[in-house]
Amino acid sequence: MTSFSDWSAILEPKERVLWEGSPVAGLHKPFNILAGALFGLPFLAGGVIAAYYALWAITGSAEWQMVGLGFLFLVFSVPFLGVGLWLVAGVSVDRLTAPRRLRYVLTDRRALILSRFPRQKTDSYPIHKSSPLVHERSRRVGSVYFHVQAFPDADGGMDIKRTGFENIAESEQVFRLMRQVQQAGADQRRP
């Protein structure tokens, strides 16, 4: 796997890097993480109970019906275990390991998000005059959002997904730089 320093090959000719950084490690917005973990506890408990019953039925019974029911419960427990583990522990691990697997780069034309996990990829978001810029600040870190996508949900409404540089230490500076990129792009397009 290449290091984050190798990303310069994806820059366009004459494209300048204005800022680069990574998320600050830590459990930012702890009440959101705690609420998610509490919501995930029943899923995890249900998955553990179903898996325990399944293994008991598979290993402790000589009747084929109980063994079959055990396999059914084992398959049934997997999604509950997965969702419960993610909500209880996965979100925290994700936040703590973000600096090692994410790199943010702002150039004079676009924002790049480089990721190493689950596979190496680069997402590019051009910064236009119409790009929505949102700056959110907490006590230690801030986030700058610059891309919004809406998806239809099952209820007929819309789910909104925001993309940006999350949990960075220099969020005010990055927000100012993005506003400058927006303004420079608008000035270049004027006749």
What does the alpha-carbon distance between residue 83 and residue 70 come to, in Å, rounded to a whole number?
A: 21
Closest Cα to residue 165, out of 121, 108, 123? 123
What does the alpha-carbon distance between residue 20 and residue 34 come to, in Å, rounded to a whole number?
A: 30
Neighbours of 174 (CB within 10 A): 25
What does the alpha-carbon distance between residue 147 and residue 124 come to, in Å, rounded to a whole number?
A: 10
What does the alpha-carbon distance between residue 27 and residue 35 come to, in Å, rounded to a whole number?
A: 13
- With tokens 């927006």, the residue in question is 182
Would you give per-residue pLDDT tens digits along the chain (191 residues)? 345 656 677 888 888 999 999 998 877 777 877 888 899 999 999 999 999 999 988 888 888 888 888 899 899 999 999 999 999 988 888 777 777 888 999 999 999 999 887 778 889 999 988 888 999 998 888 999 999 888 888 888 888 889 999 999 999 999 999 999 998 865 555 44
Q: What is the DSSP letter of 180?
A: H
Q: What is the DSSP letter of 133?
A: -
Backbone angles phi, psi at 144, to 5 degrees: -120, 115
Closest Cα to residue 162, out of 183, 191, 134? 134
For residue 188, the model assigns a pLDDT of 58
User: Do the beta carbons of residue 28 and residue 138 sit within 8 Å?
Assistant: yes
Q: SS3 of 30, please? A: helix
CA 128 to chain CA centroid, nearest Å:
23
For residue 31, the model assigns a pLDDT of 81
Count CA within 13 A, CB hemisphere, residue 132: 10
User: Do the beta carbons of residue 3 and residue 103 sit within 8 Å?
Assistant: no
For residue 100, the model assigns a pLDDT of 83
What does the alpha-carbon distance between residue 104 and residue 186 come to, in Å, rounded to a whole number?
A: 23
